[in-house]
Amino acid sequence: MKNKYITEHERYKLEVYLQMKMSVKDIARELDKCENTIRNEIKRGTVELLDTHLKPYKKYCADAAQRKYEENKIKKGAKPKVYKNVEFIRYIQELILKKKYSPYVISLMLKEFDFGFTLCEKSIYNYIQRGYIPNVTQKNLAYRKKKQLKNKIVVKRVSYNNPTKPLISDRDKSVYLRSDFGHWEMDTVYSGKDKSRSCLLVLTERKFRKEIIIKMPDRTAKSTVNALNDLEKVNGKRNFKKIFKTITCDNGLEFSDYEGITKCKRTKLYYCHPYCSSERGSNENANKLIRRWIPKGEDIGKYSNEDIYFIQEWINNYPRRLFNGLSSNEYMQLAQETM
């Protein structure tokens, strides 16, 4: 019995045979297929092109035929029963577009409602890929980790801006263990090119991933010091020292006022090695969460303090895979109750 399915390799062979003006009968014999299979394949993969005189002509294209085959393969089969539940699909759509939740978080949320069924994280990804959820594509999903280049050598050196300031390597080794609350990473998120100078000062606590976001008028060292001074006034000098035991930042000019940031030894400040953002991994991941609400290129100046506070609390209440579905606030509260 002849195999009625044509492989990608056979499609390229078919394209060459047609260029050689071979008949359908001869091609079928060469590929060991039925003649009807070859005719249907030619019909599926025939596209309209333009010659050098811009005159249209039709030709079988193996690439086009393979692309159509893969698209049809995804759509093949009956749609699952949950697709017919409009309320269920709309709920998933709202969680992605309005709440900015990832499929992992949505799979947790679905367990709280009685729809009669639920979906795992992988199934939600499949639904989105197959177009079962209206107006939702892969672009609406959270950032996915890019593949790192192999054999990439990172040379760590002292920053030319802060050659005499404490480096991250001078930090106490216990900070790496994340066993103690009060060690923070600090960075800024800024507006797009040709937009206002407004930016965000972002502080991420290493153990509980607690987030503090402060809107600043610009990325100057003075604004950074003023923001930390305001934070000290809110918490009080004594509590500030307990809450902010250490702060680790990059070598940006906004963090260049070492004396202003560590005023009266209220905290210990450490600088990362240049071009080593991975040394502030928790901070970088938090910035990606902020970008779900404020995309790159946006003008931060148009966001009010209330908007920034909403984003801060959204992050602090966001379920984390790291904490088995608990948010930073929940994980922190649980740790306090078990102490």
Question: Which residues have a Cβ under 8 Å from the Cβ of 286 and sit 6 or more positions away?
Answer: 202, 204, 209, 211, 315
Nearest to 206 by CA among 279, 261, 269: 279
**Which of 16-25, 87-96, 144-153, 319-328 is least confident?**
144-153
Q: Which of 41-45, 55-59, 170-174, 185-189 holds the top average pLDDT?
A: 185-189
pLDDT digits (tens, 9 = 90+) for 178-194: 999 999 999 999 999 88
For helices 305-316 and 281-290, give the axis angle rounded to 10 degrees.
120
**Which of 115-119, 203-207, 289-293, 305-309 is least confident?**
115-119
Distance CA 232, CA 263 (A): 11
Contact 223, 216 (CB under 8 A): yes
- How far apart, in Å, are the Cα atoms of 195 and each of 139, 187, 219, 224? 24, 19, 13, 20
Residue 47 is given by DSSP the state: E
- How far apart, in Å, are the Cα atoms of 181 and each of 26, 35, 206, 246, 264? 76, 73, 7, 10, 21
Beta bridge partners of 247: 184, 269
What pLDDT, on the 0 to 100 scale, is given for residue 306? 96
Contact 28, 34 (CB under 8 A): yes
What pLDDT, on the 0 to 100 scale, is given for residue 277? 85
Token pair recorded at residue 190: 């800024």
What pLDDT, on the 0 to 100 scale, is given for residue 152? 56
Output the average pLDDT for the chain: 88
Residue 72, pLDDT above cutoff 80 = no
DSSP string, 108-170: HHGGGS-SS----HHHHHHHHHTT-STT--GGGSPP-PPPPPTTPPP-----SSSTTSPBGGG
φ, ψ (nearest 5 deg) of residue 91 = -65, -45
Rg (CA), the chain: 28
Instruction: Judge if pTM exceeds 0.75.
Output: no
**Is residue 199 within a helix (H) or strand (E), and if so which, with residue range?**
strand 199-205
**Is residue 56 within a helix (H) or strand (E), and if so which, with residue range?**
strand 56-60
Distance CA 136, CA 235 (A): 42
